[in-house]
Amino acid sequence: MVSAGDVPAHAGRWPYQPNARDVLPELNVRLLEAFLMVASEGNITRAAARLHLTQQTLSSQIRQLERALGATLLVRGPRGVRLTEAGQALAEGSAALVDGWIALAERVNSAAGQSSKRLRVLGYPCQTAPFLIRMADALEAAVPELRLDLVSVRTIPEGVRALESGRADAGFGWLPLDGTRLRHSVIESEAWVATVSRDHRFADHDVLVLAELAEDPMVLPAIFVSEAVERDWVAALRPGRSMRDPVVLNWEHGPIIAARRQGIWLAPESMAQRHADSGSRLLPLADAPRIDAVVMWNEQAPEGLVQELISAVRGVTA
């Protein structure tokens, strides 16, 4: 935890002092967790990277928290940020507050007669309903008293934030998970495949190599946990050093671009198969590095249930 150090006591004062009870509706667990990460890292940029947020978004959240509490919490300097006296007080008390909210929710669930066997699993738009249904059916068959909750998120980075904040227990993704604090288990190693329209010049091929794609715009799905990981995969899938980089777009754009003959969509084989239609051809890339599909989870997730989830996913993807 970063110390208040030599920050003067008046640095934590605000032009007005709200009633403590009045600020409660404006406080939420996510704001407190964001503040705790900044306090731990002592640096907005590093904290934003850990939370998979932009620096601007994280700074906005800290300002929102300061307005709600009527206190300056951080002082920015050339080497990062320091906590004011008010910030130190918040840091010391909010970790226990967040843990207390989670414990309270669990006690309420128990009092309501809900099963203690609960697993919150991420669901992405890039996963089709049939896959999620088969996974849920297999998991509930293996653990009859399980309460399975699907936590909907739009993107892989949003899913990582949900896992690291404790809003979800487990989810699905692709390696590497660099820059996260998540555990993982590999489900399968997948080939990258190219999706093209059936009247594309490559449609009669059985396999492609990256160099053959140099003349076509290429699109990758946004399935990477960070910008650094995205850059590495873009470089690995570039047709040649002198060629333009593939463009990374939300997953739903890729199949449409391929079907409309506006480019070639590169995706892990399982994703491409889920979203293929009768007007497309899927062609494996012989020289592209393989990508590992994983189940990922946080340290607080119930280990036994996570292992049951891994077994269920392997069963439905076999």
- Residue 135 belongs to some domain of the structure: yes
3-state SS assignment for residue 6: coil
- Residue 133 belongs to some domain of the structure: yes
CA 168, CA 161: separation in Å to the nearest integer?
A: 9
CA 264, CA 286: separation in Å to the nearest integer?
A: 16
Q: Global pTM?
A: 0.65
- Residue 18 belongs to some domain of the structure: no
Q: Does 267 lie in the same domain as 140? A: no
The domain boundary, picked from 109, 143, 166, lies at 109
Q: Does 145 lie in the same domain as 86? A: no
User: Digits of tens for pLDDT over the chain (318 positions)?
Assistant: 444 444 444 444 444 444 444 545 557 778 888 888 888 888 888 888 767 678 888 999 999 999 888 889 999 888 889 999 999 999 888 877 877 776 677 677 667 665 568 899 998 766 667 888 899 999 999 998 888 888 888 788 888 988 988 889 999 999 999 989 899 999 999 999 999 999 999 999 999 999 898 888 889 998 999 889 999 999 899 876 556 677 888 777 888 899 888 889 999 999 998 888 888 999 999 999 999 999 999 998 999 999 999 999 999 987
Give residue for tokens 């667990």: 29
Q: Does 278 lie in the same domain as 297? A: no
Q: Does 299 lie in the same domain as 178? A: yes
- Residue 3 belongs to some domain of the structure: no
Q: Does 258 lie in the same domain as 212? A: yes
Q: Does 299 lie in the same domain as 285? A: no
Q: What does DSSP assign to residue 86?
A: H
The domain boundary, picked from 109, 141, 158, lies at 109
Core vs surface per residue 301-311: b (16+ CB within 10 A) or e: bbeebbebbbe
Residue 277 CB neighbours (<10 A): 10
User: 301 - beta bridge partners?
Assistant: none
Give residue for tokens 């929102």: 64
For residue range 32-60, what is the model confidence (pLDDT) as tens digits? 888 888 888 888 888 887 676 788 889 99
Q: Does 165 lie in the same domain as 229? A: no
Residue 165 CA: distances (Å) to CA of 18, 180, 263, 282: 28, 11, 37, 37
For residue range 267-315, what is the model confidence (pLDDT) as tens digits? 999 999 888 888 899 999 999 999 999 999 999 899 999 999 999 999 9
Q: Does 202 lie in the same domain as 63? A: no
Question: Any idea what the CATH number is for the domain that residue 91 is in?
Answer: 1.10.10.10
The domain boundary, picked from 109, 134, 169, lies at 109
Q: Does 158 lie in the same domain as 301? A: yes
CA 223, CA 221: separation in Å to the nearest integer?
A: 6
Q: Does 198 lie in the same domain as 280? A: yes
Q: Does 243 lie in the same domain as 121? A: no
Q: What does DSSP assign to residue 225?
A: S
Q: Give the domain extent around 160.
A: 116-188+293-317
- Residue 16 belongs to some domain of the structure: no
**What pLDDT, on a 0 to 100 scale, did the predictor assign at position 10?**
45
CA 248, CA 218: separation in Å to the nearest integer?
A: 9
CA 22, CA 40: separation in Å to the nearest integer?
A: 28
- Residue 238 belongs to some domain of the structure: yes
Q: Does 222 lie in the same domain as 94? A: no
Question: Any idea what the CATH number is for the domain that residue 268 is in?
Answer: 3.40.190.10
User: What domain count does the chain have?
Assistant: 3
Beta strands in the chain, from DSSP E residues, in sequence order: 74-77, 80-83, 118-123, 147-152, 170-174, 183-190, 192-197, 218-221, 247-249, 264-268, 280-284, 291-297
CA 291, CA 190: separation in Å to the nearest integer?
A: 5
- Residue 24 belongs to some domain of the structure: no
Strands 247-249 and 218-221: parallel
CB 294 within 8 A of CB 116: no
- Residue 245 belongs to some domain of the structure: yes
